[in-house]
């Protein structure tokens, strides 16, 4: 068994920000987290592939992608992390 995908600090910060502040664009997240957009997009792709976040389109004219968390997926990841670390707790 592998540890949770959320064990990565940057991914954890992204999920925390989306969970606490709500949906955001990649540009907004990059600015808020002081990271470059290419790195952020790679992390968003990993989180999206894992089902932790979902991607929608902005209702604005430019149709930028909006990222939001999926609370049940986060709960499942946290349960997996607890199970992974349980032998050491």
Domain spans of the chain, in order of start: 5-60+70-88
Does the structural domain 5-60+70-88 have CATH classification 1.10.10?
yes
- How far, in Å, CA of 12 to CA of 78, rounded? 11
Q: 44-54, pLDDT tens digit by residue?
A: 999 999 889 99
What is the spatial distance between Cα 23 and Cα 27, in angstroms, rounded to a whole number?
Answer: 12
- Single pTM value for the model: 0.80
Task: Please state the rounded mean pLDDT for residues 23-45.
Answer: 92
pLDDT tens digit sequence for 57-76? 766 667 788 999 988 888 88
Nearest to 3 by CA among 88, 87, 80: 80
Contacts of 73 (CB under 8 A, 6+ apart): 50, 51, 52
Q: How far is CA 22 from the centre of its chain?
A: 12
- Are 23 and 59 in contact by the 8 Å Cβ rule? The answer is no
């Amino acid at each position: 068994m592998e540890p949770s995908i959320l064990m990565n600090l940057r991914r954890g910060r992204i999920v925390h920000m989306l969970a606490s502040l709500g949906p955001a664009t990649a540009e907004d997240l990059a600015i808020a987290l002081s990271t470059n957009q290419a790195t952020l997009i790679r992390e968003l792709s990993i989180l999206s592939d894992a089902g932790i976040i979902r991607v929608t389109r902005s209702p604005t004219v430019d149709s930028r992608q909006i990222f939001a968390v999926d609370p049940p997926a986060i709960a499942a990841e946290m349960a997996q992390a607890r199970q992974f670390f349980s032998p050491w707790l």
